[in-house]
Amino acid sequence: MTSTAVLPSAVRRLLPADPLLRRLALMSLVNTVGNGLFVTVSVLFLTRSVGLTPSRIALGLSVAGVCGVFAGVPMGRLADRVGSKRLLMVVGPLEALAVLGYAFVHSFAAFVALACVATVLERGAAAVRSALIARTLPAETQVRSRSLLRSVMNAGLVVGSGGAALALQSDSYAGYVTMMVLDAASFLGATALLAGLPDRDPTVRRTTGPQAPVAPVGRRTVLRDRRYLLVTVLHALLELQLPVLTVGIPLWIVLATDAPAAVVAAVDVVNCLLVVVFQVRASRGVDDVPSAARACARGGLLLAGGCLLYAAAGSGPAAVATAAVLVGALVHSLGELLTSAGGWTLSLDLADPRSHGEYQGVFMSGQAAAHVIGPLVISLTVVAHGAVGWAVLAGVFVLAGAALQAAVRHTEQPAAIG
């Protein structure tokens, strides 16, 4: 992949001058390079070295995904009680141990148990990191900072995936375990960088001015915050774009178009490079609830346009199919950039800042649920009904974006709880 050669220099340019944000970016980079190493080889390791069938791997990962959906809220609540940094200092080494545990898996039952533990830690850590960012960085720079962190994360995944090529080429137990050890080391490295971040009291509200303590009296509970839950569900529908990208497009290309199978890899490259290069730019102007909702609505329209282009690829020769898929991936990726930027702002600005862990846990759980049910949605739409299924998905994206904008149209202050 030619893009991997230029990514290290691109990553260096992405790292910001602000010391706090730079440390957060380095944490993300170290962690995602390790994740890229492991994710790239994990399925082959489980089939070639452990002896599991692809269907059993898929079943185990599905069970783990369901477990992960329920990890965000309890981990977020715990972060509100003990502090995000303190909790991540414990979770990071546990994630390292979980990755190393795969080297000792020799049965399906052990694989499922370990995958559930690893996924719970991963999903929970994502919610806690989101709360950590909310408490560490100034409110007015949150969206731009998260955009930069997402760009760095994607660059790290590509670098890690490229580095895993050596293990794939050797196709040996030792090579696969080496990737696990490096991934475990990345968790420990990220934890070491985390230790240098300043501590933030969970009961301190972060504002555009000096920080001021906020009494816990009157703290909102996310499970009673109807508007936040509605926004979470609607944004989760927009998050179906990820299974479309990772499951729907590969299946569609192979089963229903004349495009060569190599186009699947090209779609991944297009998506990753666009996120690395343009995520920060896409977040400009997304700085309050109304602008975030507009970004999600526009993103939903673009995602729908991508679906219709994918559908068109099923009724043309190889050259036309290839062009339709690649243009669709471009439009899809632009929609992803907007919905991501809008989602970050909504998840933060609609939350009670005294309960960021709990609120971010719910929002992340919504995303996780979309990713878990996404393959089933793809099966019931695209795989079962072809172009009609793509049209249904396009309608879901348009309606979800429009409904989300309507749900927050008159938002000025956090909604009353009732």
Query: For the segment 344-377, what is each residue's pLDDT rounded down to a tens digit?
Result: 999 989 998 888 899 999 999 999 999 999 999 9
Mapped onto helix, strand or coil, the DSSP state of residue 306 is: helix
pLDDT at res. 409: 86
Angle at 215 between CA 213 and CA 221, to 5 degrees: 120
pLDDT at res. 143: 83
As given in the structure block, the two tokens for residue 52 are 């599991």
What CATH class does 15-208 carry?
mainly alpha
15-208 against 222-407: fold identical: yes
Please tell me the distance from the alpha carbon of residue 380 to that of residue 362, in angstroms, as a whole number.
Answer: 26
Query: For the segment 21-78, what is each residue's pLDDT rounded down to a tens digit?
Result: 999 999 999 999 999 999 888 988 998 889 999 889 989 999 999 999 999 999 999 9
> Where along the chain do its domains lie?
15-208, 222-407
Listed ranges 43-52, 102-111, 164-173; the one with the highest mean pLDDT: 102-111
pLDDT at res. 12: 56
- Banded model confidence at residue 136, pLDDT cuts 50, 70, 90: confident
Answer with the residue of higher pLDDT: 374 or 171.
374
Q: Are 373 and 62 in contact (CB under 8 A)?
A: no
Mean pLDDT of the chain: 87
Q: What are phi and psi of 71, to 5 degrees?
A: -85, -30
Helix H or strand E encompassing 12:
helix 3-14
Query: For the segment 249-293, what is each residue's pLDDT rounded down to a tens digit?
Result: 999 998 999 999 889 888 988 998 899 889 988 888 898 999 999
- Furthest-apart CA atoms within the chain: distance in Å: 65
The C-alpha torsion from 178 through 181 and 182 to 187, rounded to 10°, is 160
Please tell me the distance from the alpha carbon of residue 21 to that of residue 151, in angstroms, as a whole number.
Answer: 13
Q: Place domain 222-407 in its CATH homologous superfamily.
A: MFS general substrate transporter like domains (1.20.1250.20)
- Banded model confidence at residue 411, pLDDT cuts 50, 70, 90: low
Answer with the residue of higher pLDDT: 206 or 59.
59
201, pLDDT greater than 60: no
213, pLDDT greater than 50: no
Percent share of the chain, pLDDT over 70: 89
CA-based nearest residue to 362, from 69, 108, 105, 84 = 69
Answer with the residue of higher pLDDT: 395 or 161.
395
418, pLDDT greater than 60: no
Amino acid at 222: V
pLDDT at res. 9: 54
pLDDT at res. 262: 87
90, pLDDT greater than 70: yes
pLDDT at res. 10: 53
